[in-house]
Amino acid sequence: MIGPSEKSEGFFYLWSHTNSLIMKYRLFLFLFLFISFNVIGQTPGVDYSWWNKLHEWKEGSPGWRNWIIMSPGYLGPNALSVPEVKRGFINPKTEIEFSASSHFLKGDPTQDISGRLFIPFVQGKIAVEMYGVFIEHFAFSEEIRNERFSRIEDGKGFAVGDFYFSTLIQLSKDRKFPNTLLRLATKTASGNQLEGARNTDSPGYFFDLSFSKELAKTERGMFRPFGLAGFYSWQTNDELNLQNDAFLYAIGADFERNTLVFSTSLSGYSGYKNERDKPMQLNFELRKDFLGKAVRIQYVNGLRDWEYKTIRFSFIWKLKPVV
């Protein structure tokens, strides 16, 4: 377990190296912010009379934002997505990752480019992680448009996803007790295209504990089961229930052999409003590590409420840890 002095040392390093990190990884942050400010969420001067007529909106009715349902089953694939499953331990390497994804759903094919920055501190006891979708291209059908109360008449356009920031704290590792990792994450309201029902344009947060244990370990590989339990909450536009709370969960296993890792897991969360807010999905991942680099292929199969089928290709640069 981490003692009080080690925790103090860890937080001291986090504080003292913040400015240097911003400078070192300013290109990653600049790219996300540049695209966020330059992809326009709503085109001025558009005639929305078609939307008013379709949904029988009249003067004095609640504004169009109140019609959008803040739930994963009524939004795009990158809004309120199930968080990535952690495995109970912090990767010792700094990683910069860029991914290209294709999401398949009848009536809403979507493609996006995303990025992730992972920085461990204090010999892997603490880490910070930043990630988000830089740009998303969508072209949804009239049926999807009407079901989600979207105000984009032709269903086509581009969007920027929400930006996430998380802190990870290693509570236990390489002991008789399973590896244990605490994650505290915040979802910003940086995503646009609420009028297209692509993102929530509202804040949220989640935290969880993940666990894992290395079994059948040999020089060439291992079997590592893992699990996760936590809490997920996000802001809605329902005046009577301004927040939706959910139980966050996952279970799965890694099969590692030399520099190749195959993972499979079941993950999701369960909201309480019963508005397609209980997404569940199967995750399959194959990662190959090289010297200083890695590639990753993921397939995500939505089982409930979030019904996309996603293929994701990622390229990862591995750097030395900051401290």
Report pLDDT digits (tens) over 56-102. 998 888 889 999 999 999 999 999 999 999 999 999 999 999 999 99
pLDDT at 44: 56
Q: Where does the pLDDT of residue 40 fall: very low under 50, low under 70, confident under 90, or very high at 90 and above? A: very low
In the predicted model, is pLDDT for residue 22 greater than 60? Answer: no
185/135 Cα distance (integer angstroms): 21
Contact yes or no for 153/139 (Cβ under 8 A):
no
Q: Is pLDDT at 26 greater than 70 in this prediction? A: no
* Domain regions of the chain by residue span: 4-319
Place of tokens 């709503």: 42
In angstroms, the CA 110 to CA 306 distance is 14
* The Cα angle at residue 59 between residues 54 and 63, in degrees rounded to 5: 75
Mean pLDDT of the chain: 88
User: CA gyration radius for the chain?
Assistant: 21
- Average pLDDT for residues 223-247, to the nearest whole number? 94
Residue 171's pLDDT is what? Answer: 96
The answer to whether 229 touches 248, Cβ cutoff 8 Å, is yes
Residue 57 near residue 49, CB atoms below 8 Å:
no
3-class secondary structure per residue, 193-257? CCCCCCCCCCCEEEEEEEEECCECCCCCEEEEEEEEEEEEEEECCCCCCCEEEEEEEEEEEEEEE
The pLDDT of residue 47 is 86
**Residue 18 pLDDT level (bands cut at 50, 70, 90):** very low
Confidence band of 299 (pLDDT split at 50, 70, 90): very high
What per-residue string of b and e applies to 239-272 under the rule 16 or more CB within 10 Å gives b? Answer: eeeeebebebbbebbbebeeeebebebebbbbbe
pLDDT in tens, 266-288: 999 999 999 999 999 999 999 99
| pLDDT tens sequence across 243-271 | 999 999 999 999 999 999 999 999 999 99
Q: What is the pLDDT of residue 114?
A: 97
Give per-residue pLDDT as tens, 150-209: 999 999 999 999 999 999 999 999 888 999 999 999 999 888 889 999 999 889 999 999
The pair of structure tokens assigned to 166 is 């998380």
Would you say residue 42 has pLDDT above 50? no
pLDDT of residue 23: 53
Has domain 4-319 been given CATH number 3.40.190.150? no
pLDDT tier at 10 (50, 70, 90 boundaries)?
very low
Say what the pLDDT of residue 28 is: 55
Q: Which residues contact 153 (CB under 8 A, 6 or more apart)?
A: 50, 51, 145
Residue 239 has pLDDT above 90, yes or no: no
- For residue 317, pLDDT over 60 is answered with yes
Please check the confidence at residue 289 and state whether its pLDDT lies above 70. yes
Tell me the average pLDDT across 8-23. 48
Is 32's pLDDT higher than 60? no
* Burial degree of 64 (CB within 10 A; 0-12, 13-18, 19+): middle
Contact of 224 with 213, CB cutoff 8 Å: yes
pLDDT for the residue 6: 47
